[in-house]
Amino acid sequence: MNNKEHKTLKKRLHEIIYEADTPAGKLFDVILLILILISVLVVMLESVESLNAIYGTYFQIIEWIITILFTIEYILRVFTVKSPLKYIFSAYGLIDLAATLPKYLGLFIGKTEALLILRSLRLLRIFTILKIARYIGASNHLIRAIKASRAKIGVFVFAVVVLSIVLGTIMYLIEGTANSGFTSIPRSIYWIVVTMTTVGYGDIAPVTALGQFFATLVMIMGYGIIAVPTGIVSSEYSDVKKYKTNTQVCNNCNENNHGDDANFCHQCGERL
């Protein structure tokens, strides 16, 4: 195989692996997607003891086949990409590696060693699902809206945490001696979060009249608080969508963030 043939092969493989325009490329994507789903399914089912007892060996075989296929995929990706190092240390590269490595590492750990490590390695394989991130990508608006709201939601979450600590302590004072599960401040804070987010497990619940009255206040408060992140995302999302519709870029200064009704660039005054 001379150098030219090598180039062509590399180029063709690149097209198949990294693009989805050709039939071969599409087929590759579909097969990869199926393998990812099988892999995740097997790890999940393996954790169900009753199933693992019966089908354990089949699960092992399937896992080894998929791991080897993923390894081949990884090697091909490194081989066909222009700058292998850049790929290896990219998020996608690390995820692809993480999808294969744990299975191999498992071989080097003897049965005599800590089971917890083995188990953790086994479960690490669930992160194979992150390979799927390649196929989401699309929804730019959503991501932009979330990014735009990030700072405000951060402040909001911080305020909720502070509020939870204060309310949790008050609840601990009220119910602490009532033998109702509020045995420490951290547990009371856990309960406050369970209540304010309207999850409400019921594993801990107030039993005193005062505790129940206070719980009622916390719930109604939570009602109002849940409105805040929704309002933020809702509003930011509307804004992001508005900006999108306009794809005009100023010829003079390359500013591209123009409103829908803009006739002139708001940066330099150039007619759009």
Q: Scan residues 34-63 and list those touching a second copy (CB under 8 A).
A: 40, 43-45, 47-49
- How far, in Å, CA of 38 to CA of 74, rounded? 18
| 256 near a second copy (CB under 8 A) | no
| Least Cβ distance, residue 17 to a second copy (angstroms) | 22
What is the rounded radius of gyration, in angstroms, for the C-alpha atoms of the chain?
27
| Least Cβ distance, residue 83 to a second copy (angstroms) | 28
Q: Which helix (H) or strand (E) holds 165?
A: helix 140-175
| Least Cβ distance, residue 18 to a second copy (angstroms) | 22
Binding-site member from 186, 210, 244, 256 for a second copy (CB under 8 A): 186
Q: By C-beta, is 65 or 199 nearer to a second copy?
A: 199
| 213 near a second copy (CB under 8 A) | yes
Contact 130, 174 (CB under 8 A): no
Among the listed residues 116, 23, 123, 6, the one whose alpha carbon sits nearest the alpha carbon of residue 63: 123
Among the listed residues 197, 131, 185, the one whose alpha carbon sits nearest the alpha carbon of residue 160: 197
- Segment interacting with a second copy (CB under 8 A) among 8-16, 18-26, 73-81, 165-173: 165-173
Q: By C-beta, is 88 or 173 nearer to a second copy?
A: 173
Q: Which helix (H) or strand (E) holds 238?
A: helix 227-245
| Least Cβ distance, residue 261 to a second copy (angstroms) | 7
Which residues, numbered 101-140, are part of the site for a second copy (CB under 8 A)? 119-120, 123, 126-127, 129-130, 132-133, 136, 138-139
Q: How distant is the alpha carbon of residue 77 from its chain centre?
A: 23
In terms of phi and psi (left: phi > 0; alpha: psi -120 to 50; beta: otherwise), the region of 255 is: beta
| 234 near a second copy (CB under 8 A) | yes
| Least Cβ distance, residue 26 to a second copy (angstroms) | 19
